Amino acid sequence: MDLLNIQYADSHIRLSQSAEKGFVALFVDDQQVSEPYPLKPNNTFEFSLPAIGAVLLSFDLDLIAQKVKIQIRRGEQVLYSDEKAFSTPQSPNVPPREDSGAVQATRSTSFDNPEQLNTTKRAKKGFNGHIWAWAGIAFKLFKSVKVIQVALIGMSLGAWGIIYSWEFAAAIIGILIFHEYGHLRAMKKCGIPTKGIYLIPFVGGVAVGDSPKTHWQEVYIAMMGPFFGLAMTLLFGIGYYFTENHFMGLVASISALVNLFNLLPVLPLDGGRVFKALALSGQKKAGLVTVGLLTIAGLAFAIKLGLMLLIFFLILGVLDLMASWREFKNNPGMSMNAYGITFSLVWYLITAGGLIGIILLMAHTGLPGTELALMVLQD
């Protein structure tokens, strides 16, 4: 499947999906001139054309609009510049649609089909209407004491390179809202008073409420965020399966990554809160040491990368762990029994496994951008 296909200076230049799934490579006159690499929103290649010599080809992809800006330069001189539509690679297991073709300079693309263009416009119009509904509930539901989650979103947006798309940014906010809404519902279900939910521009949000009264409540509240996130991820994944809509596929992939990140067993992430409750309910000293070591490992990782906000909140996580231990000694009735510990662990593993499975399935489709979540998971 060709993402880019042009004829210039008597040479055939194309950017095509390579033999390695999820990767692309540049070809000139059917000769590969670049190593296979994960599709990025922009890149520059240096190669030679028989009629001209050494040139630089750069492109900039807009994955949502499905357009690509192309430029060929020799030194500072611009030899060729154009903007075209492009078709995204199809999954090897999904037969290509009749109207989806490679982008070529000499023939029309799949987006020249009036029926498909009207369908795309209707989809965008429907999405625009939902944006206002999302905005209306954002201030009521957006609860996030984990600023590092927002930092992850920022890194993910940069990795996909489509931060300039407000549609995708709105989808990210929707992912966060739905995740935090799960925590909010769990708090209310446990009868824990909430004193307000506030948005903090460019940082995240915070919901002030009373502390859980038992370790089971701690697990329940922590797990409901990723569990709601898994439900949302499944909906977008199913939507992509039936429509092959690029936007839905990207949202499913990033939603799975965000919610899986929150399940890391490091305080103050949701996974850290779960394992803290499990540790204080089982073999107390061994569990406490294990959670402490995992949190220290996360702290070392944050220091290495210079993530100051993450460092700050990991320190708070250590203090929270110490306070929880003191509280447990004063009130041992907070502990879970063997059934509660087993159920909590199985719930955690099923949720994490479901999110990992979605990341693998979306990367398997070859949809540009979805393989990056798998790369983060592998690294």
CATH number at residue 63: 2.40.128
Pair of tokens at residue 173: 């906010």
How many CA atoms does the CB half-sphere of 370 hold within 13 Å? 31
45-27-56 Cα angle (round to 5) = 25
Question: Both 103 and 188 in a single domain?
Answer: no
Token pair 């000694």 in the structure block, residue: 329
Q: Which of 211, 328, 344, 364 is nearest to 271 (CA)?
A: 344
Question: Both 97 and 150 in a single domain?
Answer: no
Question: Both 124 and 24 in a single domain?
Answer: no
pLDDT at 235: 93
Pair of tokens at residue 204: 């995240």
pLDDT at 328: 58
Question: Both 180 and 313 in a single domain?
Answer: yes
Domain boundary pick from 112, 141, 162: 112
pLDDT at 69: 82
Distance CA 314, CA 308 (A): 10
Count CB neighbours of 8 within 10 A: 19
Pair of tokens at residue 196: 């307000």
Question: Both 104 and 144 in a single domain?
Answer: no
Question: Both 34 and 49 in a single domain?
Answer: yes
3-state secondary structure of 38: strand
Distance CA 33, CA 55 (A): 12
Q: What are phi and psi of 67, to 5 degrees?
A: -130, 155
pLDDT at 164: 42
pLDDT at 238: 93
Question: Both 202 and 82 in a single domain?
Answer: no
- Total count of domains within the chain: 2
Question: Both 72 and 194 in a single domain?
Answer: no
Question: Both 73 and 32 in a single domain?
Answer: yes
Give the residue ranges of the chain where pLDDT is below 70.
Answer: 1-2, 17-23, 37-41, 62-66, 86-167, 169, 194-210, 282-292, 302, 305-314, 316-318, 320-334, 376-379
12-113-1 Cα angle (round to 5) = 35
Contact at 8 Å (CB) between 30 and 371? no
Q: Which amino acid is at 291?
A: V
Domain boundary pick from 56, 85, 112: 112
Question: Both 131 and 6 in a single domain?
Answer: no
Domain boundary pick from 62, 94, 112: 112
Continuous H helices in the chain:
114-141, 147-160, 166-189, 215-243, 246-262, 270-281, 284-305, 308-330, 338-364, 370-378
pLDDT at 112: 45
Question: Both 276 and 149 in a single domain?
Answer: yes
3-state secondary structure of 285: helix
* Range of the structural domain that residue 132 is part of: 115-378
Question: Both 166 and 202 in a single domain?
Answer: yes
pLDDT at 236: 92
- Order across the sheet with 67-74: list the strands: 42-49, 53-62, 67-74, 77-85
Contact at 8 Å (CB) between 126 and 245? no
